[in-house]
Amino acid sequence: MPAFEIRSSAIAGKGAFAIEPIRAGTRLIEYTGERVSHEVADARYDDAEADGSSHIVLFTVDSKTVIDAGVGGNDARFINHSCAPNCQAVIVRRRVFIDAIRDIAPGEELTYDYEIPREGEDDETARKYWPCHCGAATCRGTLLLPSVDPHPPRPRRGAREGGKASRGAGRGGRATARGSSRKPSRRTSPR
């Protein structure tokens, strides 16, 4: 029996809500759907994106494969984005799972950061076309990741390097962006 149910969400449309306590580290569900190439996914959703549809449920697995949860997908497609998530998407052997990253109380909405990369969009454009409504104190205002500074400050002489890699580094499996001459277009993952 699943540890969550689908119902209306204040974040976006429908969402997944815990119906029992969920412990950190719990694997909640696999993100399923038809596995297609990027070219097939693009052909399916170019028109919907041009019309501003926000209900495109694609998840990029790697450079060859996209999961289209709109075809044979399960309830994982209803897990909304948050800039302060309680879950994360994990790719294991080309399969996508949603895992809890902290304890989750009954009634709490399950969320993960979609980690959609920017392709040069400024903050105004990002907020206009890919707004975030998660309501977190740390909300970026957009589903897109923050801009990366092309000239980060150099470490001070003698400073120690180390620490964590950025959250999305080397994990693959997020939305893939496409440029466009019309309104900016982006496959969202998964909404």
Per-run averaged pLDDT (10 residues), the chain, 191 residues: 92 95 97 94 75 71 92 94 96 95 98 88 86 93 80 53 29 35 37 42
CATH of 4-147+169-186, one of 2.60.120.200, 2.170.270.10, 2.60.40.10, 3.40.50.720: 2.170.270.10
Would you state the pLDDT for residue 176? 35
Would you state the pLDDT for residue 90? 95
The structural domains of the chain, with segments of one domain joined by +, span 4-147+169-186
Spell 68-77 as b/e; 16+ CB within 10 A means b.
bbbeebebbb
User: What CA–CA distance (Å, rounded) separates 19 from 106?
Assistant: 5
Would you state the pLDDT for residue 2? 81
The predicted model scores a pTM of 0.75
Strands 109-112 and 80-81: parallel
Q: Are 66 and 59 in contact (CB under 8 A)?
A: yes
Query: Looking at residue 47, what DSSP letter applies?
Result: H
Would you state the pLDDT for residue 89? 95
